[in-house]
């Protein structure tokens, strides 16, 4: 149900993004309740985020995960202990940051 809600939210954002936001990055993350986090990404024009870099940084800004979105524009990783931030980085001007405290079940 959570994935469906997120997918529908992303779809609505894409549908109403308009020309001014023709290629804005989008990312949503949620806590799976099993000590893992899943993030889904994409672009407002409907483009895939497959291969886009994703970083997880601890509360001190140290990179603890440096990876890429899979072919489904998703990534699931072990939830870090303590404060953390997830960064979807599709290049200059195309980054989204999500604070770990905002990622809930």
The answer on pLDDT for 59 being more than 60 is yes
Q: Let me know: does 25 contact 98? Beta carbons within 8 Å.
A: no
Distance CA 30, CA 37 (A): 6
The answer to whether 49 and 88 are in contact (CB under 8 A) is yes
List helix spans (H) across the chain.
2-15
- Owning domain of residue 73: 2-102
Tens-digit pLDDT profile for residues 3-46: 545 544 555 555 554 444 457 999 999 999 999 999 999 999 99
Tell me: the pLDDT tens digits for 73-84? 999 999 999 999
| Cβ proximity of 32 and 40 under 8 Å | no
CATH number at residue 81: 2.60.40.10
**How many domains is the chain built from?**
1
Whether this prediction's pTM lies above 0.85 is answered by no
DSSP single-letter state for residue 60: T
């Amino acid at each position: 149900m959570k994935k469906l809600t997120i997918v529908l939210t992303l779809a609505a954002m894409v549908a109403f993004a308009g020309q001014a936001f023709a290629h804005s990055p989008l990312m949503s993350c949620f806590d799976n309740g099993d000590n893992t986090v899943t993030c889904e990404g994409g672009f407002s024009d409907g483009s895939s985020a497959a291969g886009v870099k994703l970083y997880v940084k601890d509360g001190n800004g140290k990179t603890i995960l440096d990876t890429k979105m899979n072919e489904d524009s998703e990534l699931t990783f072990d939830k870090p202990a303590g404060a953390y931030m997830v960064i979807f980085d599709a290049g200059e001007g195309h980054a989204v940051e999500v604070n770990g405290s905002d990622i809930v079940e």
